[in-house]
Structure 1
Amino acid sequence: MAITVGELIALPELQLTLLAGKGGTERTVEWAHTSDLPNPWRWVGARQALLTNGGAIPTAADDQIAWARSLAEREVSGVGIGAEMGGSDLTDELLEVCDDLDLPLFSIPYPLPFVAVAQAVAESATLAQTHRLRIISRLYDFMSRDQTESLTGAEAVSTVADIIGHEIAIIDDHCWDSWIASEALPEWVPQLVEQRGRSKRINVPTVWESPSAEVAHLVPLGTLPGALAVFRRSHTSSSDQSTLLHAASVLGTALSRRELQAMHVNRVHSEYLSRILIDQNRFGFESSGWMHQLGYSGQVEAVTLLGPPSRRESTVSRLQRHGVRLEVTLQNERHLLVVQHNDLATTLEHCLEPQVRAGIGLAVDTGVVHESLKQSLWAVKTAPADASASIVHYDPATPWMGFHDPQAGEDFVNRILGPLLDDTPSHAMLIETLDVYLKENRSPQKAAQHLVVHRQTVIQRMKKVEAALSVDLADTAVIAQLWVAMTVYRALGDSRASGQFHRSRR
């Protein structure tokens, strides 16, 4: 690895002498730069040593202090001053401030050329680069082997940790919990977060140092949005930012591949769950046998998620990472979840993304899972949109528009709109037109503008609605019933795809 200032001074062939700043001798030196310009901090920086004849060092003590502080601010590793080169005398104040700043100040004996010091640093840097390349090579060798090895996510992280000589934790930057459901966080991660405080999400590599001098590198995994790798070096290794970035890239690829595999399993189960719901709604059979094939028995709860698609998906993924057992399917711009978890509401609140609202149905036997799904949808769709709560529980004791449960609402909708609730495109068009017509206060002109059709087309469609439902739209009582039916219909969702509101149920 790169040589430290202390190791450089200790080289017997150089005969360097430490003058001040002993506390900074553990700093690494990757390069040595010679400069006698008045403002050398413009030309040297972190992990670099400044070598100077001292001609540009100010004479006054206050100016020497400012000179040293400027170099320390640039995180210069150390300063070597050529002896007997006619430079300014070093004041006691300068030596004292270098001690305070842990800025190593060492003397280069005459006539030792500066190039000898630079060469010693360069040779060490070459060895460090060779070591770095070996580690990086091992990282990418692991990445190629990982395609065929059946390691878990935790095992992949452990393998990378062994290669780079660091402890590694993968955390969720939303809640700072473990990204891998089966892997508990090392005790130093919560301590570090508690000392530092939960800041906003980290988008760039960051270095944290706790009050106890515990240093951790935090690197976002670009291929795995929301995941953050935390690196903590062991006592036998040093942290090289370049190596850590490569390690983060390898980890991101490895964990992303496992996420894709999990998504494939979810997709297969999603299709299976959709089939269960469709057949259960249409034909009224019990789905316990099929749910058992998915590994479920006993009671389950259903959850409906509404909101931006990406945030809904993120919420589902986070629930799974927090150990929540669930199956999920996507229908009509909402996620439907079947869940088994001891503390669903608390965990859901913890994992819920902003702008996502959730409805939770009652716990039911697996044989009637669709009933809980109806309840969850009923809960979230009938709750006030401006309510502060993001999670709504179904409560049969609380009526909505006179209905205590979705079944009563569905029966009412089937009774009023039944003839139009089949799968034919023409009837779906009439339902849509009726909905817009009522929302626009029965104005054919405004409804036509909304539907982008001619006004006369709306009038003709409404005549077909009257004929299909055997009603007179001039009757106020009829309009009242249709308005309630359409409001409940929207609350339950246009669920023809899942079999709800199917005429065979009448």
Structure 2
Amino acid sequence: MNISDVLKLSNDSNLKLIAGEKGKDRKVETIEVMEVPQPEEWANSGVLVITTFYSVQNDSEEQLRIVKELIQNRAAGLIVKIGKFIKDLSEPIIKLANDHDFPILSLPKEVAYIDILSPLNAQLHMENLKNQDSIKYLKDVQIYMNNWHESVENAVNELAKKLLCSIYIEDEKGRLLYHSNSLVLDGWRDNTLLFSYPSNVQYEEFLKNWSEKVNLKNYFSEVFEQKKHMIIPVYRNQEQLLFIHLVSNRNVVTEYFDTNTIELVKNRILTNMISEYADLQREFFLKEQEWQQFKKKNPTGQFILLYLERSLNEVIYQSTEYSFDYQSLLKKYLKDLLSKITEQKDIYIFQTEKGLFIFLNMTKEMNEPMELKNLVKEIFEQSQLRDMYVAISPIFEKLTDWNDKKFNIVKTLKVGKKIYPNEYIHSYHELGLYEFLIELSSHQPVQIYVKSVLQGLSQSDPVLTETLNMYLKENGNASRAAEKLFVTRRTITYRLQRIKDILGMDLDRAEDIFILQFCLRINHLENI
């Protein structure tokens, strides 16, 4: 509680500030009614003194001395009941209070002490109870942080539970590295994708402003969509590394955190992140050696290869001297995700310039080709990598087929992104045929043939090509094609008749349907 709070709580008592306006933020720790005019003997720092100046009512010099003693003892302020024993305070007292930003408040003579003491003491009592809880809470947090031996991800979740808030950790560019399961999305961030940037349109300005203040403040406070953010900057060798966000509907800073706890949190998180990345580097180095030994044996078995691409992964090629090992963090997430495939007994991950290859050594063959695709789709859709494009090879039994499978699966993903741009998971089983079509589309005789078949249509209204594609996609069902194109069946029938006339083909004849499907596919694939 400070002097401003005193004025608000005593609003009904007509309490007024008459001097020391700039000292309204002085903290009030105790309240004393002055009976003995020797404040040097009893006035402590933070005390708010209430008096009538009865014992010195006729001695303005003694009143001035008392105010000087209160200022020297760092009292919070002085409340004087005006009108009962003194009519007003002298100008030297007012000037002294203003010069030292020492608040003096006047209380009307008709207001009883109990009317002002009751609400103020009640507020102090509540704050003392709260402070005791906060001290205990801080000790619990500090004990937990000092004994922190978990992974960064688990520790962030546990800390969020203890603080009853959401936590996420971003790098100096705002890219997301970790977040608690209780993450609250708001006006700063609207997704949890790994390495994603904040969604706030002014995030770069905020980051620049925070980075300029890292040596001046232990934390920053911001509010985004009524969510309070306590933002703790973490840096090493004067190089900005991280921003830790603690997000809540209440003020986490004033309720639970002091300077020592803030320092402990950021130092332990930084230390454990560096340690965890070192462990991951060792783990993947040993895994690489294990892979080399595995290859030498030239084994047979049930193998599956995945190829993955993602635009946000570009950060792993932008590491600086002080940046973290983004590549190891990404591999860890992938390993944890794919460990959910119970049919696999080993995972090897390889980084390339454009994407990643993941080799799965399976314990048994997946009975249905779509079974693995659906499982991978379910795993990724619920993860921080749900924007990852994934291509899945067919099962192969010989490791000597490794290079061929790598080549084919890259093409599978390229085709999948072209044919189904809104889908992220693609399998060779579904798209392998398109590789042959792509190969055909590059042959000049095929191009000439396709052009001759579709020439009349390509020179007509583009809506006719759209209609033909939809009609064939719906297996010749004109009613469903009309629904998908948001037109009437009569309109579709009219367009189909025009198409027949232009192309000279019968849309009820299976051979003509096959030719049109082939030509339209080749025409669509020419740019792949």
TM interval, short-chain normalised = 0.3 to 0.5
Taking CA–CA contacts closer than 8 Å with sequence separation of 6 or more, which of the two structures ends up with the larger relative contact order?
A: 1
State which structure, 1 or 2, has the greater radius of gyration over its C-alpha atoms: 2
> TM-score when scaled to structure 1?
0.39
> TM-score when scaled to structure 2?
0.38
